[in-house]
Amino acid sequence: MNQEDLSRPRILLLLLNARARNHPSYFAAADGEAMHLGKVTQGLVPIFLNCYVVTLNGLSDRKADADYGKLVHWHDHPNAFTWMHT
């Protein structure tokens, strides 16, 4: 989606409707991919907090609100260290 698409009122309303009716974790992967160019060009610099990782897709299959954006220590979850690299 680009600025030209968002200039059309119907498209903008569809975007707002989708974002408002769904949990942010549904969009986490797509938002992460959308930031790829910014990361590669170093326009966006990720912040590194040693021994921690932030989960944006939840820790379980269900989309729990408590799991979204949770700061997880590497020792608290067996896959936390691997998530940092993937």
- Bridge partners for 70 per DSSP: 55
Q: What is the pTM of this model?
A: 0.61
Domain coordinates in residue numbering, the chain? 1-45, 47-86
The pLDDT, as a whole number, for residue 58 is: 57
The pLDDT, as a whole number, for residue 43 is: 92
CB 80 within 8 A of CB 73: yes
Q: pLDDT 10s per residue in the chain (86 long)?
A: 678 877 888 888 888 898 899 888 888 888 888 888 998 999 988 888 899 988 877 555 555 677 778 888 999 988 888 887 87
Exposure of 53 by Cβ count < 10 A (0-12 exposed, 13-18 middle, 19+ buried)? buried
The pLDDT, as a whole number, for residue 59 is: 52
The pLDDT, as a whole number, for residue 41 is: 94
The pLDDT, as a whole number, for residue 75 is: 92
